[in-house]
Amino acid sequence: MDTIGRVAGKIALVTGAASGIGAAIAERLSEEGASVVLADINAEAGEALAAKLRGAGRSAVYEQLDVTSEADWQRVVHDTLGVFGGLDILVNCAGVATGGQELLHHDFANWRRTLAINLDGVFLGLRHGGAAIVANGGGAIVNISSVASKAAVVRGAAYCASKAGVAQLTKVAALEWAPLGVRVNSVHPGYVETPLVEALISQAPDAAAMRAVAISRHPIGRLGLPEEIANAVLFFASDEAGFATGAELLVDGGYALP
């Protein structure tokens, strides 16, 4: 295995790693020399990606994880330490995007589910994955927030609130853990070409028109690519970002500018 890379020799745990942005992050960290734990609720896709990475001569394992379950988090971190002996990098990427509900009529169950996955999941990752990084002598955590933490989206109350919560939770962790050698930063994507975004667009009465509107909100003139988000995460995860903590990086094609 080629150990030359920007995160060579590091152990990384990525949630939501079976598809979309999470899969791109796991692959990018692996390309740059990290041993990667792919954690996701989707066992079939997660196992397939782990096998693909191993087939390329890289070190990767899959762990089934429901990010809203504290017992799952405890098991996954325990297994990670058992297999690799430590943890250096945590990427909290697992999330859900639900829209189409105006606040006056917002379903409480939808609200609770969105907050549980997007915010509680990050808290549990910090609580258990972060503790393992502290015990290992320090490292880097990257939380995936969203441009929706900065720019409100109509009929997106739960999503916007959860992602704004991730941004502030990141800053608290960065402040508390800086003396412990742990850097904590957040990446804020715009709309990215992923199954999650495609599902949201397809729910519109006119999907083509919805896609055109989404693209028009990005001054760059297109949606983002998962690999572009993964590159931003790689920077924060690497020693190149050694003086960055509590930072927010918008990778949104200019969405938040207007």
Catalytic residue set? 159
62 pairs with which residues across the strands? Answer: 38
Q: How far is CA 214 from the centre of its chain?
A: 21
127: helix, strand or coil:
helix
State how far the Cα of 256 lies from the Cα of 258, in Å rounded to an integer: 6
Q: How far is CA 71 from the centre of its chain?
A: 20
**Nearest of 164, 148, 167, 124 to residue 15 by alpha carbon:** 124
Sign (positive/negative) of CA torsion 93, 18, 160, 189? positive
- Read off φ and ψ for residue 219, nearest 5 degrees: -55, -25
Are 189 and 144 in contact by the 8 Å Cβ rule? The answer is yes
Within 8 A by CB and 6+ apart from 224, the residues are 189, 190, 191, 192, 193, 218, 251, 252, 253
What are the respective helix, strand and coil percentages of the chain, to the nearest 5?
Answer: 50, 15, 35
